[in-house]
Amino acid sequence: MDKQTFNIPKISCGHCVNTIQTELGGLDGVLMVEGDAEKKEVTVEWDDPATREKIKAALEEINYPISES
């Protein structure tokens, strides 16, 4: 199992967090998604077949790209 917190600068409210939770929660292997609108962060816990790359791609697809800096 893997767990990582992603910085997502485009998060501006609870609705953004809910959208991300819904979309990532639908990916096979994603076990948990918790978001914090104030910190602009989302913590994701996953197992196979989910990967960091698949999570990153899903976030980009819904227009919430992660900040790599």
What is the per-residue pLDDT across 8-24, written as a single tens digit (0 to 9) for each?
A: 999 999 999 999 999 99
Residue 53 has pLDDT above 90, yes or no: yes
Contact 55, 44 (CB under 8 A): yes
Cα-based distances in Å from 15 to 4, 29, 32, 38: 21, 23, 17, 12
Note the pLDDT of residue 69.
Answer: 63
Q: Tell me what percent of the residues of the chain surpass a pLDDT of 90.
A: 97
Q: Which amino acid is at 10?
A: K
- For the entire predicted model, the pTM comes to 0.93
Q: Tell me what percent of the residues of the chain surpass a pLDDT of 70.
A: 99
Domain 2-61: give its CATH code: 3.30.70.100
